[in-house]
Amino acid sequence: MTTRTTVLQSSTEDECSPFFTSIKSMTKSQRDDLARLGLIRNETSVNILLLRRKHGAYLRRALRLKDTQQLPGSYISLDSSKPWIIYWTLNGLDLLDDLPDEDTLIGIVHTLRACWTYVKREVVDIEDENRAGGFGGGVNQLPHCATTYASVNALSIIAGCDADIYPTATRLALHLLKEKRKALLKWFITLRYKDSMFSRERGNAKKACGYRMHHDGEVDVRATYCICSTASLLGFTDEISDGMMEHIIDCQTFEGGFGGEPFAEAHGGYTFCALGALHILLKAKRLANLEQSGVDLVALEGWLVRRQMSHEGGFNGRCNKLVDGCYTMWVGGAIAILGLNGTDKQFDSGVYSNETDQCGVVRTRDDLIRRDIGHDSEGGLLFDQKLLQRYVFLCAQDVNGGLRDKPSKPRDFYHSCYNLSGLSVSQHIFTSGHNDTGNIVTMYEEEETNVLAPIHPVYSIRVERVRYMVGLFHVDVTH
């Protein structure tokens, strides 16, 4: 039966198909054009390249704090998303090993400081000397969980840089994190929302406790993840964890994925947030695996692996939706986090375990799902990692720099960040010796320049940055 959904899907497949043409079958003129664009090394090459230099140049456009060149006028709609733009671009550059100069990083720290806002005492009833606050989207804007998460991630990236190269920037970023840490905790606590109206019966379990994105804002699993991630990096997970796990479990749907709130449709982004938060909370509550928390793991695994589109190779975010490059991280990262459940290869102290099997691969328990998707992924993840990378290299890259949703869409900072983040997940997670390109899962194995720095799937920043933050606050990575 032909429906609007099948028509759109067919159109998307037709849109992507030309990008999957064999380079060997191209004429010399066509190969010359690819070489001129930088997508292959020369006319005899058959391996697509990651346009590192072009992507780096595109991402740095947003960070030219002293440059007269400004972003296009259309970006005014993102005026309340300054920390997000900083995080998207900075994280992408960090994965590319192409961070900007120290003056730019110092300017970023000052910009984020200007986004900090203390909440009014009449709102939270806190004495002046014990004020609470968070990072807003811009100067004098309302503190918000999402922009606070983006700000702390960006500051963690800068604080964790090489202090010999960036002495002033690392010091300023670290000082800002330490200065605002207690106020953040106080503000997070004021965002708690307890209401049994949406809670399912859980026997003697604690009443589910959600969190608002901001005062008088929506209660959803994004807030729970943003708060969990930030609290974990800054070392105060225990203080905010009561009731969180119960609220997240209530958000799992009959499909298997997680919605933003109880009884909502399962969504790739919300599922990533749910699993990221659950992974942190499992450690905090000393639980061994997701089954102990009440997650329907079989349904969840099945829903996640069905997000990979068989023709395009990328992921969609919901049932009967189109492929989108950002889900390279949202779904790919969720599957990676799920793979941490119950295995011996935890990200202890924020780093990859040195203990590996002979293949350097962690195998999960559900071989049935592997047979269902018809692929035993070389890297141990429950999706075809090379097929996903093919989508990123061929369909998501803009030849002028930056990455996109799909070929018909324009490049942007958001999709650039999450295409690169998911690409790193697909290259590194559950592989041994991640500094040795021979043990990394890559679509074009001969091209070492295609390999990104390893990212932590829970926190969405480089593993080294997580390691630094954990060591700084002397706590376990998820505690």
93-128: pLDDT as tens digits: 999 999 999 999 999 999 999 999 999 765 665 555
In angstroms, the CA 47 to CA 23 distance is 8
Pairing of strands 133-135, 403-404: unpaired
Q: What is the pLDDT of residue 431?
A: 60
Contact between 150 and 94 under an 8 Å Cβ cutoff? The reply is no
Q: What is the pLDDT of residue 66?
A: 57
Q: How many CB atoms lie within 10 A of CB 173?
A: 25
Instruction: Classify residue 18 by burial, with Cβ atoms within 10 Å: 0-12, 13-18, 19+.
Output: exposed
Q: What is the pLDDT of residue 432?
A: 44
Q: What is the pLDDT of residue 51?
A: 97
Helix, coil or strand: residue 391: helix
Enumerate domains of the chain plus CATH numbers. 46-473 (1.50.10.20)
Which residues are known to be catalytic?
A: 267, 318, 321, 324, 326-327, 405, 412, 415
Backbone angles phi, psi at 193, to 5 degrees: -140, 110
Closest C-alpha to 173, from 92, 90, 95: 90
Q: What is the pLDDT of residue 391?
A: 98
Pairing of strands 192-194, 403-404: unpaired
In angstroms, the CA 296 to CA 300 distance is 6
At 411, which helix (H) or strand (E)? strand 411-412
Contact between 408 and 16 under an 8 Å Cβ cutoff? The reply is no
CA distances from 391 to 100, 395, 407, 442, 476 (A): 28, 5, 10, 12, 36
Q: What is the pLDDT of residue 124?
A: 61
**Residues of the chain where predicted confidence (pLDDT) is lower than 70:** 65-69, 121-130, 195-206, 286-288, 342-379, 431-438, 474-479
Q: What is the pLDDT of residue 293?
A: 81
